[in-house]
């Protein structure tokens, strides 16, 4: 886990008290609303679900070109023209395809659907697919979750005598395609009051416009909208929130045979379905079809009325999801082997890692994992022959789209958002792209943005109760722009540490002022946990309500933990300075001095390691600060000790595992002052 800056939301007690009184809610829920920017009665009513359910949704014709799209589609319906719904292979695209196809079929359209193959065709419209659709007598293509940048492809469709209606939610480029209609709430000149729909949300608005009855459309399709909206991590505010709330209710008693079967295979039958269940249980299974097989099977699962077919398709997706997990482990093993040989890539401002024949459907998942682990923008690239494709993820404050646009001369194609993007390039250009995007980052961000953890409030341990958890539940469903509440609790003494789940997790007993808290830190083994009984720590927790044999209990999940004396700016500044040195960038004498350890400092670092320290470097740095060693010098010392053959270190000090060398053994050792890092900073062993 990367070291993150904690951002605790400011409090406005007077306004929160007023909101609590006006709406009859707990003070904690009112604070969450106010601190997240919901301050008007309308926005608060919307977040709390207090709007009249009989009130219509936002007029779909507020979205630019909606009237043109409706007119063209109605003409196709009247003339029984062949229509193709052209979707995408992720959950958003799959649900959008199923939604629009189902609606058009229900009104008697001559309709088919088409999902491009992720590996063979890639994202969006392509000329081969368009030509194939023409051969199937298609007169009208309606895109969902794609098409906004398909200028050449739509021009080709027109050459073949086909019309195209685009529905999309991605950002528009400088040139719009010459389509019959381009329905996108993000278009310049749009007057739509809400713009943050997923692709399935835009498809839903098209159905609302065609049908003329938004409530009817919601009753029939809100479950699909909820699936795609949550999976695509778009804002769960405004109309999205209402649609997801209605969709969760519909999912709870779903009439779609395919979804019922998938829910059963996922072990969720009879359980309350939440946005978290969608994100971590249902969405990965629906995504697995497009990652490892054909996303058309996921569409078919969502539209089938045949129980036997539903069972076959659901089992296939369930199996593919397990296969996807196994492939991730293979990629993780490959990356670990690469980094063991050469960790220099981890010192870059933007991490770019490439491997041969990695599954293109899985690299996005792994890019997210690397970004989260190291707190840096990241691209994972898979290449085969002379062709390569990559998936990128970023942190707040670094626009991935702007970065790849600035490096576009090295790419054959790209697209995406601020925090997620995809690229295509020639294999020979991978290293050029890595250099170019890091040069861009150096020019644009002399000091890279630090990853942040947004915290809703700081409370004493006595205030973190079941009542607080219940108060927060009024704001469900949680998701983008309305995240699960995080609470900071400071100055807690660790009384007990014991492994859970076979040592894969750590359960902690924490105490302050006579109040005892029990919390669990998931996915952290005994060897990886750098804290000790007696340490005084600050923690960030989320609250979960568990029910066992009818009895409710509160579970606190540790989202971050650090020693109470930790100073973020010192740790972050020391790491950035150390990485600057490792990139061989010019250093001032003052910077070299901050990095240069004395022999005494080196001794303190090594002694703490020899005494059994194992864990993250920032915690080691905090412990050594008590002995007068600054963090930049700690990182330099670790590097010198590693290069000198005295310790083994992994992940450039994010996690270190120590193997003290036996006395008298000197095989493979290098005198500390002769190591490359020591010579960079001018260290002398005196």
My answer on whether 598 and 459 are in the same domain is: no
My answer on whether 434 and 492 are in the same domain is: no
Q: How far is CA 588 from the centre of its chain?
A: 37
Is 141 among the domain residues?
yes
274, 236 contact by CB (below 8 A): no
My answer on whether 354 and 496 are in the same domain is: no
My answer on whether 503 and 399 are in the same domain is: no
507, 498 contact by CB (below 8 A): yes
CA angle 133, 135, 137 (to 5 degrees): 75
Residue that the structure tokens 């196709």 belong to: 76
Q: Which domain holds residue 573?
A: 569-681
My answer on whether 64 and 106 are in the same domain is: yes
My answer on whether 588 and 645 are in the same domain is: yes
Is 667 among the domain residues?
yes
- What are the CB-based long-range contacts (under 8 Å, 24+) for 417-421? 417/170, 417/171, 418/394, 419/393, 419/394, 419/395, 420/364, 420/391, 420/392, 420/393, 420/394, 421/391, 421/392, 421/394
The reported pTM is 0.88
Strands in 351-356's sheet, in edge-to-edge order, are: 351-356, 378-384, 387-393, 420-426, 413-416
Question: Got the DSSP string for 231-277?
Answer: HTT---SHHHHHHHHHHHHHHHT---HHHHHHHHHTT-TTSPP-HHH
My answer on whether 544 and 619 are in the same domain is: no
Is 500 among the domain residues?
yes
Tokens linked to 469: 């958890």
The domain tally of the chain equals 4
518, 509 contact by CB (below 8 A): yes
My answer on whether 72 and 144 are in the same domain is: yes
199, 145 contact by CB (below 8 A): yes
Is 399 among the domain residues?
yes
My answer on whether 513 and 575 are in the same domain is: no
Give the mean pLDDT per block of 10 residues along the chain (686 residues): 88 94 95 92 87 73 97 97 96 97 97 90 90 96 95 96 96 89 92 94 98 94 96 92 94 92 91 90 90 89 95 93 90 88 90 93 89 94 94 94 94 85 94 97 92 96 95 92 95 95 92 95 87 96 82 91 95 95 93 94 91 86 93 94 84 56 57 89 82
CATH of the domain at 228: 3.90.1640.30
Which residues touch 586 (CB under 8 Å, ≥6 apart)? none
Is 458 among the domain residues?
yes
Is 29 among the domain residues?
no
My answer on whether 531 and 599 are in the same domain is: no
Q: What angle, rounded to 10 degrees, do the helices at 307-341 and 363-374 form?
A: 50
My answer on whether 288 and 177 are in the same domain is: yes
My answer on whether 238 and 189 are in the same domain is: yes
Residue ending a domain, among 529, 563, 597, is 563
Residue that the structure tokens 């933007």 belong to: 350
Residue ending a domain, among 519, 545, 563, is 563
What is the rounded CA–CA span in Å between residue 283 and residue 274? 12
Residue ending a domain, among 563, 585, 604, is 563
Which stretches within 419-465 are classed as H helix?
430-444
Three-class secondary structure of residue 157 per DSSP:
helix
Sign of the C-alpha dihedral computed for residues 120, 124, 128 and 133 taken in this order: positive
Is 25 among the domain residues?
no
CATH of the domain at 426: 3.10.310.30
Backbone phi, psi, residue 320, to 5°: -65, -30
Is 44 among the domain residues?
no
């Amino acid at each position: 886990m990367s070291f993150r800056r904690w951002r605790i939301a400011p409090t406005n007690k007077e306004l929160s008290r007023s909101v609590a009184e006006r709406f009859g809610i707990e003070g904690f829920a009112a604070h969450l609303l106010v601190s997240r920017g919901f301050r008007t009665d309308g926005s608060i009513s919307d977040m709390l679900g207090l709007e009249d359910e009989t009130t219509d949704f936002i007029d779909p014709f507020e979205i630019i070109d909606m009237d043109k799209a409706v007119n063209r589609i109605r003409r196709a319906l009247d003339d029984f023209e062949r229509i193709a719904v052209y979707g995408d292979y992720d959950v958003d695209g799959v649900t959008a395809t199923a939604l629009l196809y189902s609606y058009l079929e229900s009104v008697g359209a001559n309709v088919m659907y088409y999902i491009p193959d992720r590996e063979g065709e890639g994202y969006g419209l392509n000329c081969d697919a368009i030509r194939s659709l023409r051969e199937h007598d298609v007169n009208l293509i309606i895109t969902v979750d794609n098409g906004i940048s398909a200028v050449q492809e739509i021009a080709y469709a027109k050459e073949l005598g086909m019309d195209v209606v685009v529905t999309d939610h991605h950002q528009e480029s400088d040139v719009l395609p010459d389509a019959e209609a381009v329905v996108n709430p993000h278009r310049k000149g749009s007057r739509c009051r809400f713009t943050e729909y997923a692709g399935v949300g835009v498809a839903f608005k098209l159905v609302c416009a065609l049908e003329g009855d938004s409530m009817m459309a919601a009753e029939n399709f809100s479950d699909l909208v909820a699936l795609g909206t949550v999976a695509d991590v778009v804002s769960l505010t405004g109309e999205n929130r209402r649609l997801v709330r209605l969709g969760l209710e519909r999912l709870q008693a779903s009439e779609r045979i395919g979804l019922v079967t998938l829910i059963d295979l996922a072990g969720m039958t009879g359980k309350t379905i939440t946005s978290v269940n969608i994100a971590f249980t249902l969405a990965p299974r629906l995504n697995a079809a497009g990652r490892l097989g054909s996303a058309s099977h996921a569409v078919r699962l969502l539209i089938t009325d045949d129980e036997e077919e539903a069972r076959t398709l659901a089992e296939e997706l369930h199996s593919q999801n397990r296969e996807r997990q196994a492939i991730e482990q293979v990629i993780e093993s490959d990356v670990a082997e690469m980094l063991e040989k050469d960790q220099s890539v981890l010192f870059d401002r933007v991490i770019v890692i490439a491997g041969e024949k990695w599954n293109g459907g899985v690299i996005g998942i792994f890019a997210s994992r690397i970004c989260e682990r190291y707190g840096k923008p990241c691209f994972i690239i898979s290449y085969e022959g002379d062709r390569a494709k990559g998936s990128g993820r970023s942190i707040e404050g670094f626009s991935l789209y702007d970065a790849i646009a600035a490096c576009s001369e090295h790419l054959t194609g790209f697209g995406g958002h601020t925090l997620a993007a995809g690229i295509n390039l020639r294999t020979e250009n991978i290293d050029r792209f890595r250099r170019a995007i890091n040069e861009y980052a150096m020019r644009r961000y002399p000091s890279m943005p630090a990853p942040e953890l947004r915290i809703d409030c700081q409370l004493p341990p006595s205030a973190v109760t079941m009542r607080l958890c219940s108060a927060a539940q009024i704001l469900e469903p949680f998701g983008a722009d309305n995240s699960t509440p995080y609470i900071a609790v400071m100055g807690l003494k660790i009384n007990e540490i014991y492994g859970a789940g076979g040592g894969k997790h750590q359960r902690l007993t924490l105490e302050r002022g006579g109040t005892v808290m029990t919390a669990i830190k998931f996915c952290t083994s005994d060897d990886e946990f750098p804290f000790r009984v007696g340490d005084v720590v600050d923690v960030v927790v989320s609250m979960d309500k568990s029910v066992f044999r009818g009895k409710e209990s509160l579970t606190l999940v540790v989202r971050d933990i650090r020693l109470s004396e930790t100073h973020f700016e010192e740790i972050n500044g020391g790491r950035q300075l150390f990485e600057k040195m490792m990139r061989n960038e010019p250093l001032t004498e003052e910077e070299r001095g901050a990095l240069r350890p004395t022999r005494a400092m080196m001794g303190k670092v090594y002694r703490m390691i020899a005494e059994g320290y194992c864990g993250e470097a920032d915690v080691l740095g905090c412990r050594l600060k008590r002995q007068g060693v600054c963090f930049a010098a700690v990182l330099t010392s670790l590097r010198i000790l590693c290069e000198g053959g005295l310790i083994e270190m992994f992940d450039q000090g994010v996690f270190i595992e120590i193997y003290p060398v036996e006395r008298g053994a000197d095989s493979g050792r290098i005198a500390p002052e002769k190591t490359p890092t020591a010579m960079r900073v001018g260290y002398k062993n005196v």
